[in-house]
Amino acid sequence: MCCFRVPRMPPYLNVYPPNPEQHKEVLISSSGQPFPWNHMRLPKTVSPLHYDLGIHPNLTTLDFTGVVRIQLQVHEDTGVIVLHAKQMQITEALLLAPEGVRPLRVLEYPPFHQLALLSDTLLTRGRTYEVLLGFAATLSDSFHGFYRSSYHTSSGAVRVLASTQFEATFARAAFPCFDEPAFKAKFTIRIIREPRHIAVSNMPTVKTVALPGGLLEDHFDTTVKMSTYLVAYIVSDFLSVSRTTQRGVKISVYAVPEKIDQTAFALDTAVRLLDFYEDYFDIPYPLPKQDLAAIPDFQSGAMENWGLTTYRETALLYDPDKSSPSDKLAITKVIAHELAHQWFGNLVTMEWWNDLWLNEGFAKFMEFISVNVTNPELHVDDFFLGKCFEAMEVDSLPSSHPVSTHVENPMQIQEIFDDVSYDKGACILNMLRDFVTPEAFEIGIIRYLRRFSYQNTVSRHLWESLTDLCSPDLLDQGDRKHTEFCSARNRPSGASKWYSGDELDVQAIMDTWTLQEGFPLVTVEVRGREVRLSQERYLKTDEPSLTDGFLWQIPLTYVTSASSTIRRFLLKTKTDVLYLPQEVDWVKFNVDMSGYYMVHYEGDGWNAIINLLQHNHTVLTSNDRASLVHDVFQLVSVGKVRLDTALELSLYLSRETETMAVTQGFQELVPLYKLMEKRDMAALENRMKSYIVDLFRGLIDRQEWTDSGSVSERVLRSYLLLFGSVRNYPPCVEKATQLFNAWRASGGHMSLPVDVTMAVFTVGARTPEGWDFLFERYRTSLQMSVKSRMKVAMAFSPLQGKLTRMMEQSLRGEVMKLQDLPDVLVTISRNPHGYKLAWDFLRANWHTLIKKFDLGTSLVAYMVNGVTNQYSTTEMLDEVKLFFGSLTEETGSEMRCIQQTYETIGDNIRWMDAHLPHLQAWLDKRSSHTVHEDL
């Protein structure tokens, strides 16, 4: 970015806050002049109304130029306009005022990505002006801003394209703008391209103009009012397929030409989902089209740009013959997520990133609501619980943050794109929906979206919209759903609230879930008909004082041995008592785990539940059983339950057949031997592995090596056969070896059952010849889901030289894409033959990784936590601290994921020190039942 010499500023150029005593520091611009603003957030003296943006990317020289005209509304007299620009050369700066065109002087302050445009005449409150800025920059070689991507054709030719990723703070790297979500404006975009390419953006093309030199300029229709992070454009050689929704919205899916035949499923899914959302939200989709584009290089899973959603290829492309049920479920969910954003996030946007959860938590929640209706065969409900467990894993650490949390700089903003904002946000919304009833929840959401369309909101606005739903002065008589709902509630037969007392104060309840970090552990003690309740924060720490001062309003649900009717109780205080109609043998709280809390059964409570599971486990739902498995093992970590109690409960799993409960059993048991792997405790480690194989042996033996059954059954089959193969269970290894050898002998052309390919590839990758064959097939395959399974299998090979080659290949981005490196690295770190290699690679390439993936992003956190979270010795904790402690703030020392890593390893050490003797004793006690060799 070029700088202009600036003379001394006249007094009216001041745009400091009203109380400058609070912020005395004067920032110095890159030219050495004082910069006239000293906050990370932009001043509100002016705001944009409309951007007229022209962009000319050159896909040969890999740079771009542009011109933007921004129409501004002035709110306070000023002589300075402060906006964003990052790593950009400003070639021209003009003020287009009614009095004429005048040059603007430019200062830059790179640490805040800010430009100051200085006018020698006063901009008057209440008037509108235009500024014109010419600019130039290089297409980014990361995954943010306006960046370059490429792919290889089947003939080996390289094709280059340019695409955008602006969330959260990267629009400023593509054009000068007011890059904060509250500065909404309309955008009219023009893109210059070569005839061999196409250009797409948020809106349809209205005309294409021929330019000198054989270039073309596409003019796009003006957008609706929206935030900068939702602007998008792509210049590529993509092809597309299209269909129209019931209301006439054109849906198109774009992909590289050789993969266009993998777009049919995404197209059908998008049409169904957009129709669903228009009905559910009772608000028409406001744009004439919705494009879905599969980008060869893409860091996140997908992005909700209004009218042009962008995706990783694996998140959009589906081959009916090669993709698995898990692929179908994942693709459907990610499309559902991005299309939900078109209303929740795009139409109504959080005012600032501290309320990111309003966007992401809701879109994650709507994945399950929408897919359950549009694709019931996918049984999406079977997988929601796992999201809550994942959120609790992060939320149980001292370094967790509130759902609605203070953020200021770009790194802090990037960091909250995490399990707390997404998964915890979804889980507390699910709890609220169950609490107020699904019908009331839907009416409140519709009210919220209508009231704040094209505006910005804070969490309080959502809670207000869910309160006093049928108050006469708030009832929208023009809203069919709202009127019918309130009429039904007023009839004697209508659904009544399950809670007692005055009108529900949604905000008072939900503030306890969004404004404080963590989640509650509810302790239950049954004494006759009396049920004593208490709550505390569940926290994995050796500092008990950190749990003090936390209190939630918890919507409890429970069933008992005497009644399967779900009963409810709102726990508002630290302790309380409820009374049962009669004495019972057992009570199960948090029915189906609809609430975001864990439960500890004091006294004889766990023994009663263990007895129930061992003798009649199907009395409880699959989700209830999964939540019991989860809670009992998590309570071991904080000393509430003995390990042998948890292991006794796990014995019932030998009779379990449901996906969620089985997979949760694996999730709790497998990490126990993974911790031992890092301590070189082969004997005890192998005994634990043998116990798990024995536990699930019957279920593994019943699996057929075919693609039959429901989606849940097929997902479970793939999971079990892979586990059996990895654990060297002879029937699995023999079958997988036989299939791999036949598949390899056919040159990879033999059709394998999709559900067994992970097991087959993983066993095949154990030999150098098998690994090399997989790598070659990976290089030439056009099926993204098949490539994903090959990648995981190769990363779990015992061949260390091959593992190192994979990481190096991914970093270079040749055969394996750089976007795949985090997955490769984390998978290798979970490989007992590779975890040391992964840690060494992370350290050696740290500076390259944070440049490519950007500080604070979820992928950097994923690599840091994924590579280190199974360490369990003080020596490794010291080594990890030595490396991360050597970093500076600029190289990531302040990232939350580093603190999470320290806490996780510390918790692992405490667990091993406290519970290994109990594990040894329990396995000794069971040794007489173990008849199989260690596997």
Q: Which residues are catalytic?
A: 338
Q: Which residues contact 379 (CB under 8 A, 6 or more apart)?
A: 710, 711, 712
Contact 575, 532 (CB under 8 A): yes
Nearest CA among 341, 346, 348 for reference residue 451: 348
* Interatomic CA distance for residues 77 and 45, integer angstroms: 7
Nearest CA among 825, 827, 819, 859 for reference residue 844: 825
Amino acid code (one letter) for 232: A
Is 75 annotated for ligand binding?
no
Exposure b/e, 858-869, CB count within 10 A at least 16 = b: bbbbbbbbbbbb
Give the pairing type, strands 455-457 and 302-303. unpaired
Is 341 annotated for ligand binding?
yes
Q: Which residues contact 753 (CB under 8 A, 6 or more apart)?
A: 705, 706, 707
Q: Taking the CA of residue 139 as centre, how many other CA atoms within 13 Å lie in the half-sphere pointing to its CB? A: 21
Nearest CA among 12, 6, 78 for reference residue 35: 6
* Interatomic CA distance for residues 94 and 99, integer angstroms: 13
Helices (runs of H) and strands (runs of E) counted in the chain: 28, 31
Nearest CA among 255, 241, 302 for reference residue 161: 255
* Interatomic CA distance for residues 46 and 408, integer angstroms: 20
Contact 428, 911 (CB under 8 A): no
The DSSP call for residue 607 is H
* Interatomic CA distance for residues 300 and 314, integer angstroms: 11
* Phi, psi dihedral angles at 700 (to 5 degrees): -65, -45
Contact 66, 175 (CB under 8 A): yes
First CA to last CA distance, the chain: 61
Helical pair 711-726 and 757-764, crossing angle rounded to 10 deg: 20
* Interatomic CA distance for residues 342 and 363, integer angstroms: 9
CB atoms within 10 A of CB 154: 9
* Interatomic CA distance for residues 279 and 284, integer angstroms: 8
Give the pairing type, strands 78-84 and 114-123. antiparallel
Q: Which residues contact 912 (CB under 8 A, 6 or more apart)?
A: 675, 679, 872
* Interatomic CA distance for residues 175 and 64, integer angstroms: 10
Contact 229, 166 (CB under 8 A): yes
* Interatomic CA distance for residues 306 and 171, integer angstroms: 14
- What are the residue ranges of helices labelled H in 746-845? 757-764, 768-780, 784-795, 800-812, 821-829, 835-844
Contact 582, 562 (CB under 8 A): yes
Amino acid code (one letter) for 343: W
Residue ranges for the known binding site for Zn(2+) are 337, 341, 360
